[in-house]
Amino acid sequence: MAAKAEPWQTAEVPGPKKAMVITNPRIVAALIRRSKNPVLIVGSMAPRIKLSGGDLVDYAIRIAEAAGMPIVSSPSVLGEFLNRGFRRVLSMPVVDIANRLTDADWKGVENKGQHDLAIFMGFKYHVCWLILSGLKHYSQNLKTVSLEMRYQPHALWSFPNISEEEWEKNLNEIIKEFKQDKMILNKVKEVKE
Amino acid sequence: MVSEKNIRVKIDELRSSIGLLKGVEFSIGKVVSEEWLEEIGPTQFPKITDLREWDFKLLQRYKPFYMPFCDLCCLCTFGKCDLTGDKRGACGINMSAQQSRIVLLACCIGAATHTSHARHLLEHLIEKYGRDHPINVGGLNVEVEAPITRLVCGVKPRTLGDLEEVLNYLEQEIVRLLAATHTGQEASNLDFESKVFHAGMIDHVALEVADIAQISALGFPKADPEAPLVDIGLGVVDSTKPVIMVVGHNVPSAAAIVDYLVENGLYGGVEVVGLCCTAHDTTRYNPKAKIVGPISWQLRFIRSGLADVIVVDEQCIRADTLIEAQKVKAPVITTSDVNCGGLPDRTKDKVEKIVEDLVLGGQPGAFILDPEKAAEVAVKTALLIAPKRMKFKAIPDVSDIVEGAKKCRKCDDCRRACPNDLPIRDALAKVLEGNLNALASLYEACIGCGRCESACPVDLPLHSYIVKAAEKRIKEEKYKIRVGRGAIQDVEIRNVGSPIVLGEIPGVVAFVGCANYPNGGTEVAEMAVEFAKRRYIVVASGCAAMSIAMYKDEEGRTPYEAFPGAFDAGGIVNVGSCVSNSHIAGAAIKIANIFAKRRLRANYEEIADYILNRVGAVGVAWGAMSQKAAAIASGFWRLGVPVIVGPHGLKYRRMLLGRKDNPEDWYVYDARTGEKVYVGPAPEHLFYAAETKEEAMVMIAKLCMRPNDTTKGRAIKLSNYIDLHKRFFGTIPDDIHLFVRTLADVPLTMREEVIKVLEEKGWKENVIPDPTLLPRLVKKKVGE
């Protein structure tokens, strides 16, 4: 993996606290496993980003289903999720979900309390950059992960700037990790039975 | 030494040996006859904390959400200071205060720019037309000629000279506001935000002063709904004639060019075309002038070589204008002391000598502060240099693009520099396959900044490549725009006041601001047309008004041809340039004053409270870029008008967001009883950035709802909100229970599906109050 932890937009130089680079997609799976209440936040660009195995909405659904977490979608993408039969989705403008994620008393997407992990994908670069900056400074106890193809310095964890092929491979790796978890769980269950 | 305010004396009635004096005011040696009988309200010439209580009411509901652009503060030598998370800087400031401080700085820059513009314009107009030249923005049709000035300053300007006192006040306030941003001054982010609102209010007064002065003195359309249609677009320029291009916002030099041409029988022989707001105002001065387009068109138009002389005044002018102009051998004349461009001051030189130096001497340009002299130089130079230049251009041929594509290193630095992340490298690669379409397709979303070229390690003129590839489309850019009409007539306000306040006209949507669009200007036109078709009142100004024009329907009509220019349901109203935004705020104020008979004079809180609770107006600055746009938006916030920006607007680094899930935030007083009543999140946000056009459109419909809507009005507003939500998002909104107060609010055609949502959400009926946030407006207290 050609790790190059520099912001994609050359001039968007952040500050001293920059995202740790996800060098192995298993890191993402581990973060989700450890999280008590994760949420996947999907932006308006998702249906327009086409990869060989589907668009980014497809990948968001696969990740959310594999990891068992809800999705908050930008309003203009809601229909894409519903049309594909994914129901564990809440439509909310990105500024609203970000604002709520900074409120320690918020009840969360499914009324389970404030989230401890927010994962982002499918946004315009600068939109994600600014939203993550807000969360970096103002959310308490929230870990943020960017699954975008470009390095997002304000997340806690981010992919570096990578190729589309590497990106897709990484997303598939994350999904595979959870599928393996399920296989192991099923085997344990079988052994117990 | 005493200040001007300290020696102002007001006399309601004075009997003396020389007779009876009534309503007289003395101020620094001048006597202002006072015939305005309206009682002066509580906040005349408000100081920076006089409206703090009102601001805090707004900020309590619409809390700032900061998105720091940078983790550091680098404003003093203590720094750089790392403010990440809960860290504080060496001066003790935290991140929230720092962000709001930067917002205040931006708004001070904006307000100072408009005030400086107004001061320059006023001095020029007074010199030319006299201090006693009357203010007249609409004859008998406009009695409330300066609603913002009356509201804020409590004065009723009758002449150009009366506006000087207003500007004195604005200048004092801006200095005070700017002082608050110094190290070791304001510590609270909320106090900074209150000052941001103050800067916005100051900015609105400045806008009004500038525009009513120029409307009155320069004969601009006076509140005319049928102002003429003029040409707009790169394709409208007659390249067979010498072309003078005017750029900026401050019209005296452009107006002087028109005068010189007319007086010397040259009009028709020379093209006068404009960019940005000077273009708007030049067509307001003379509708034979033409508009090239919004600010983003600067670079492409200069490089097209069509302009033989470029005359710039102030604001939003590219800092590399002189460099670009030299590439096409077009002289530049700078005319403003805030934008001298490094050129020699030729103000006192003879016209013939300046012209000779520009035409024959190879001088790149001249700085001329006298508008009349600048005009004469511009015209004479254009006439002499046009045959020499032969429209020399800096746009490459296709063969040059092919050669450039071969040199491309495929580093993607162009894309990484592009604000809209355009895939320039990929498009250039396709040129080698003989395909220019990919490059041409970037044209719509290209904002014309040229950052791609600066980033290119092999110096490819990438922006020019895009322009060349889109040449055919550019030549077809021929549209019509209605000339900026200026103010809204009082009679129009009377006609629409009731349906707006009751909600039967679903809203007033103002498309304003710059051209930093995420996907091109067509989106603005599409939004404007959609809301006009839905019988909203659509208002426009500045670059947004131009973008609306650059669109045609199936019958080949531009929106200004397809929709009337009246301030009425289904109208698309171009008020004019940036400073004409004052008429949009002014219309909201006049609804409170003329329709609802609320006292206007120095009565800011009450009028803002009225607008927030009753006037369903929303501003949309889809391509907001500048500090001026920030100041204009903040003026609307204090007045209770929400503003939506496009995704680039997030870079203003702070939103003002309501929380519809916190019911306690949405209580108002019922002015009839004094009871506190839940009214739902109406309007939900005060400053909001949408990711997409569709998201913005649904939010526009939603933010037009107000607590005072009648059941009929709320039903109309809800039906628009639900319909747009279903169309763009595919579902019925999940928050309609928050906006339905009684079953009569439910749109008849959507009754079944809405009732289903209400039942799912456990909805309960509410009362519709006479809403106010101001306890002093309660007529009867609870228990009385």
pLDDT tens-digit profile of B323-360?
999 999 999 999 999 999 999 999 999 999 999 999 99
Low-confidence ranges of chain B (pLDDT < 50): 1-7, 27-33
Q: Cα(B702)–Cα(B93) distance, rounded to whole angstroms? A: 37
Query: How much is the pLDDT for B441?
Result: 97
ipTM, 2 dp: 0.95
**CB contact (8 A) between residue A130 and residue B695:** no
* Residues whose CB is less than 8 angstroms from the CB of residue B703 and which lie 6 or more positions away in sequence, other chains included: B618, B642, B644, B683, B684, B685, B688
Partner B contacted by A83 (CB < 8 A): yes
Reference B513, options B687, B689, B690, B633; nearest CA is B633
| Amino acid of residue A80 | E
Question: Which of B523, B564, B571, B575 minimizes the C-alpha distance to B547?
Answer: B523
Two tokens, residue A73: 């979608």
Q: Do B691 and A76 touch (CB under 8 A)?
A: yes
CATH 1.10.1740.10 describes domain B234-389: no
Three-state DSSP class for residue B293: strand
- Chain B residues near residue A131 by CB distance under 8 angstroms: 67, 650
Chain B contact present for A140, CB below 8 A: no
Of B185, B314, B65, B479, nearest to A103 by C-alpha is: B65
In order of start, what are the domains of chain A with their CATH numbers? 23-192 (3.40.50.1220)
pLDDT recorded at residue B15: 62
Q: Do domains B234-389 and B479-775 have the same CATH topology?
A: yes
Report the residue from B416, B419, B653 with minimal CB separation from A8: B416
Does 3.30.1540.10 match the CATH number of domain B38-218?
no
Task: Report phi then psi at B713, rounded to 5.
Answer: -65, -45
Q: For A23-81, what is each residue's pLDDT tens digit?
A: 999 999 999 999 999 999 999 999 999 999 999 999 999 999 999 999 999 999 999 99
The beta-carbon neighbor of B650 closest among A11, A83, A127 is A127
Kindly identify which residue of chain B lies nearest to residue A108, measuring between CA atoms: B661
Report the C-alpha gap between B502 and B708 in whole angstroms: 7
Q: What is the distance in angstroms between the Cα of A144 and the nearest Cα belonging to chain B?
A: 14
Q: Bigger pLDDT: B504 or A174?
A: A174
Shortest CB distance from A134 goes to which of B65, B416, B647?
B65
DSSP structure string for B714-776: HHHHHHHHHHHHHHHHSS--TTGGGT--SGGGS-GGGHHHHHHHHHHTT--------EES-GG
Distance of CA A110 to the CA centre of its chain: 17
Domain ranges of chain B: 1-35, 38-218, 234-389, 398-460, 479-775
Predicted local distance difference test score (pLDDT) of residue A190: 79
Interior/surface letters B144-182, b for 16+ CB within 10 angstroms, e for the rest: bbbbbbbbbbbbbbbbbbbbbbbbbbbbbbbebbbebbe
CATH architecture designation of domain B479-775: 3-Layer(aba) Sandwich (3.40)
> Are A94 and B84 inside 8 Å of each other by CB?
no
Residue B2: per-residue pLDDT:
32
What string of DSSP letters covers B577-608?
SGGGHHHHHHHHHHIIIIIT----TT-HHHHH
CA gap A29, B155 in Å, rounded: 66
| Whether B85 and A137 lie within 8 Å, measured CB to CB | yes
pLDDT of residue B5: 43
User: A37 — contact with chain B (CB < 8 Å)?
Assistant: no
The Cα–Cα gap between B235 and B749 comes to 46
Indicate yes or no: CB of B65 within 8 angstroms of CB of A125: no
**What are the residue ranges of helices labelled H in B432-534?**
437-440, 451-455, 462-469, 471-475, 490-502, 522-533
Name residue, tokens 């391509």. B623
Sign of dihedral through CA atoms A160, A161, A163, A168?
positive
Q: Which residues of A touch B651 (CB under 8 A)?
A: 126, 130
- What pLDDT does residue B1 have? 28
Whether A150 and chain B come into contact, CB under 8 Å, resolves to: no
B434: number of Cβ within 10 Å: 8
- Running DSSP on this structure, what letter comes out for residue B227? P
